[in-house]
Amino acid sequence: MITNRVEDIIPMVMAHNPDQPEFLQAVTEVVGSIQPFLRQNPSYLKANILDRITEPDRVISFRVSWFDDEGDIQVNRGYRVQFNNAIGPYKGGLRFHPSVNVSILKFLGFEQIFKNALTGLPMGGGKGGANFDPKGKSDNEIMRFCQAFMNGLANFIGADVDVPAGDIGVGSREIGYLYGQYKKIRGPFEGVLTGKPLIFGGSQIRAEATGYGLIYFVVEMLKVRDDSLAGKSIAISGSGNVAQYAAEKAIELGGKVLTLSDSSGTIYDPAGIDAEKLAWVMELKNERRGRIREYAEHFDVEYYEGARPWQIGRYDIALPCATQNELDGEDAEALVENGTFLVAEGANMPSTPEAIKVFHKKKILYGLGKAANAGGVAVSGLEMSQNSMRLSWSREEVDRRLKNIMVDIHNQCVEYGTQGNYINYVDGANIAGFIKVADAMIAQGAV
């Protein structure tokens, strides 16, 4: 079916992917926001870019069988979605979480196309993972799972083909095991994964990059209204990689971080989480792999079982850093009602469409994930460059480049998203990312 009318694309994608709500949500957001631009630039419709860009190049699925500590064989399903490589090798994280399915990985891979384009680095879009639950697994079980996962994936990736990294449930420990197994199977010592430990090709600042980048983006958003982070009260959800380093940088710049959470509940610390308390959280989460509830017991603050941060307190700034659809319309109403004037997303698609409508209607500053959390993949891109050159840059050098990239992404949002005296970051990021990828697709012909 030839779809060169912009209003036909959503029904077509729905008809082709009826059981993929997260993917449809991501497509609807992008297509909705670039519609006026496409009407003014019909060449993209003529080249049928929308049909092509919403269909992944391929979706790879494989069985992952591994031995648990009892000696029983467990089976999971592994995936890699190679979405689009118009501007560079497929690039995007791996998620290990029981909820992982094709819809979630396609939404993440689709978002990644535009996010990666915004960084200005040559990276296409991809995503992968498995419906594996790392919670409660021993280190040996994690290693055997990673090895079995890589057995299924190794033949489809490579430093110039597809370069996975971390996401939920995948950090430098898992990347290390995956890298070892890739090398065992394929041979080359090459930059096939990013987020590697520093001792074998990892980049300085990669662990920090998503959280730091998010705060650098927030600083730019605040500058628009001649404001700064100093003294602002901040709600952060999650307590993993992104949340931890967003908190670290926010505290460093004078913000007061009041909350952290995990999938079991939220802690609210009215005195603010300072650097010392955050170091305790990092030890809890990264070494002991415990629950955030323990913070409330240790520091004697409130713990809200089963709750997310949004309706617990009053915050100037809200930074969702856990997972998709973790902030709904009601949460958005409550936040705005309680004075929140800036929301920026460390997670991918954490705000529901209803929440985004509230932010836009109330004209608060709203920085969507594909712009605000692009710092992680940006430093992954810098890790790829360093691996290719066989050298490594200093912390200061990588941090400086990360900052420049986040400022540049903010500038792109302003350029394409300014509507009267309001910056619509959703439209800005989607249009800026789309133009780069679509122009590359057109230049490469109908493939």
Q: Interface residues with ligand NDP (CB under 6 A)?
A: 93, 166-169, 210, 238-243, 262-264, 321-323, 346-348, 373, 376
Q: Residue with the closest Cβ to ligand NDP?
A: 240
The verdict on whether 127 is a catalytic residue reads: yes
By the rule CB under 6 A, 91 interacts with ligand 2IT: yes
CB atoms within 10 A of CB 82: 23
By the rule CB under 6 A, 241 interacts with ligand 2IT: no
Interacting stretch for ligand 2IT, rule CB under 6 A, among 89-97, 331-339, 395-403, 424-432? Answer: 89-97
- Minimum Å distance from CB 9 to ligand NDP? 25
- Closer to ligand 2IT at the Cβ: 115 or 308? 115
- Minimum Å distance from CB 329 to ligand NDP? 18
- Closer to ligand 2IT at the Cβ: 91 or 277? 91
- Closer to ligand 2IT at the Cβ: 214 or 441? 214
Q: Residue from 380, 386, 387, 430 that binds ligand 2IT (CB under 6 A)?
A: 380
Whether the CB-CB separation of 426 and 368 falls below 8 Å is answered with yes
Burial profile 248-282: b = 16 or more Cβ within 10 angstroms, e = fewer: bbbbebebbbbbbbbeebbbbbeeebeeebbeebe
Distance CA 425, CA 366 (A): 7
Q: Residue from 348, 386, 387, 424 that binds ligand 2IT (CB under 6 A)?
A: 348
CB atoms within 10 A of CB 7: 10
By the rule CB under 6 A, 398 interacts with ligand 2IT: no
262 binds, among ligand NDP, ligand 2IT, none (CB under 5 to 8 A by kind): ligand NDP
By the rule CB under 6 A, 78 interacts with ligand 2IT: no
By the rule CB under 6 A, 176 interacts with ligand 2IT: no
Considering only residues 108 to 127 of the shown chain, the ones binding ligand 2IT according to CB under 6 A are: 112, 115
- Minimum Å distance from CB 183 to ligand 2IT? 19
- Minimum Å distance from CB 355 to ligand NDP? 15
By the rule CB under 6 A, 232 interacts with ligand 2IT: no
By the rule CB under 6 A, 201 interacts with ligand 2IT: no
- Closer to ligand NDP at the Cβ: 147 or 323? 323
- What's phi and psi for 145, nearest 5 deg? -65, -45
By the rule CB under 6 A, 167 interacts with ligand 2IT: yes
Binding mask 271-290 for ligand 2IT (x = CB under 6 A): --------------------
Distance CA 282, CA 269 (A): 16
- Closer to ligand 2IT at the Cβ: 222 or 372? 372
- Minimum Å distance from CB 112 to ligand 2IT? 6
Q: Residue from 376, 417, 428, 433 that binds ligand 2IT (CB under 6 A)?
A: 376
Residue positions annotated with a catalytic role:
127
State the residues that interact with ligand 2IT by CB under 6 A.
91-93, 112, 115, 165, 167, 194, 348, 376-377, 380
